[in-house]
Amino acid sequence: MDFYRPTFAAIDLNAIKMNILNLQTHINKPLEIIAVVKANAYGHGAVKVSKAAMEAGASMLAVATPDEAIRLRKEGIESPLLVMGASPPTFANVAAELNIMVTVFDEMWMNQIPPLSHLLKIHLKLDTGMGRLGIYSENHLQSIIQLIHRRDDIELDGVFTHFSTADEEDQSHYKEQMSKFKNFLRLFNDKPRVVHAANSAAALIRNESLFDGVRFGISLYGLSPSAYVSGILPFSLTPAMSLHTEVAFIKCVPEATAISYGATYRTQQSEWIATLPIGYADGLLRGLSGQEVLIGGKRVPIVGRICMDQCMIRLDEEVPIGEKVVLLGRQGNEIIHVEEWAEKLNTISYEVPCIINERVPRVYIP
């Protein structure tokens, strides 16, 4: 793909593969690895990441919405595919035709499904303490199991839950969820093909949560689920995304020159100010004003307010137009991690790659 603005996100597909291979080595037993590629693979590009993940040994893909699943099928992805979020009953027949598995957590949904022309595979979602989607009582679960048994066009392929605190040091709520999940599993006369509970955090540090499969989400992309998990990782994660641009303009301005909207920054002395063609419409949010970037292997600050399409940085010396700049990733011996942005924005690492929007081209490194 041709693009004319020098701002792009580089996606290292080998990093995706290495994170899966390292997880397999860590688990050290046959297990379903479910690569979570929702939200356009956390901003990395669902089609390319899906292919890389399956090449590396993932056995299933998971998305959040029916539309995400349909897009993968239209792009030629034929791998086992699960929609983890809510799907309307009207999607059931399409899902069956396209061999897309859906998540079920409600009797009413089951009762609204007409006879299907193709077999529909489903996974039951159990709410053990997330308080989001899921079957929350044993009676409710038993009723749904009975409804499934009455259908020969619906197959129960899996059952799962989602831990809300697996990435925290305090294990009390996690243990409560695990206990409730095991109690739910006792209600199945025939265990579904795949039982999965572990998200990235649990897959990395909670071996008792592995069951038949793990859902590898944030750490598929080389990011740790939390600061706590970062300190006890069983292997190094390799970040897949880096963010790049280059100097579009540079000038030396005198002391007390106002820079950008609101004149919130004024030069303290004669300073070299360079303009970069990236702004908050690309995902470099205004809250990142003051954040450092890398140029010539050195850290330099963003000064003034970040604009919609541009931002300014302060340099110690003149550099040529076109000088390479790294906003996320490595340049020389310096590196700027996603977690650094997350801390600056008072958010979590999950959000950072997702806010780098589609206006920023993805360039894939095989």
CATH number of the structural domain spanning residue 337: 2.40.37.10
Active site residue 261: yes
Residue 211 has a pLDDT of 97
On whether residue 231 sits in a domain, the answer given is no
Which band of pLDDT confidence, cut at 50, 70 and 90, is reported for residue 93?
A: very high
- Residue 289: left if φ>0, alpha if ψ -120 to 50, beta else—which one? beta
On whether residue 229 sits in a domain, the answer given is no
% of the chain surpassing 90 pLDDT: 99
Same domain, yes or no: 103 and 141: yes
For residues 222-238, give the mean pLDDT. Answer: 97
25-46 confidence digits (pLDDT tens): 999 999 999 999 999 999 999 9
Same domain, yes or no: 216 and 250: no
Q: Are 169 and 5 in contact (CB under 8 A)?
A: no
Among the listed residues 74, 191, 251, 261, the single catalytic one is 261
100-127 confidence digits (pLDDT tens): 999 999 999 999 999 999 999 999 999 9
The full length of the chain comes to 366
Residue 2 has a pLDDT of 76
d(CA 161, CA 149): 21
Which band of pLDDT confidence, cut at 50, 70 and 90, is reported for residue 58?
A: very high
Same domain, yes or no: 130 and 249: no
d(CA 72, CA 40): 10
The structural domain count of the chain equals 2
Which band of pLDDT confidence, cut at 50, 70 and 90, is reported for residue 48?
A: very high
Q: Which range of residues forms the domain containing residue 144?
A: 13-222
Active site residue 364: no
314-331 confidence digits (pLDDT tens): 999 999 999 999 999 999
Same domain, yes or no: 206 and 342: no
Chain mean pLDDT for the chain:
97
231-279 confidence digits (pLDDT tens): 999 999 999 999 999 999 999 999 999 999 999 999 999 999 999 999 9
Among the listed residues 38, 48, 51, 121, the single catalytic one is 38
Same domain, yes or no: 208 and 320: no
Of 194, 222, 250, the last residue of a domain is 222
Residue 105 has a pLDDT of 97
Same domain, yes or no: 25 and 81: yes
d(CA 150, CA 106): 16
161-213 confidence digits (pLDDT tens): 999 999 999 999 999 999 999 999 999 999 999 999 999 999 999 999 999 99
Of 222, 252, 277, the last residue of a domain is 222
Same domain, yes or no: 150 and 282: no
Residue 3 has a pLDDT of 85
128-160 confidence digits (pLDDT tens): 999 999 999 999 999 999 999 999 999 999 999
Which band of pLDDT confidence, cut at 50, 70 and 90, is reported for residue 1?
A: low
Same domain, yes or no: 158 and 121: yes
Phi, then psi, of 9 in degrees rounded to 5: -105, 125
Residue 53 has pLDDT above 90, yes or no: yes
On whether residue 147 sits in a domain, the answer given is yes
Same domain, yes or no: 156 and 75: yes
CA distances from 310 to 88, 118, 251, 289, 302 (A): 41, 51, 15, 12, 11
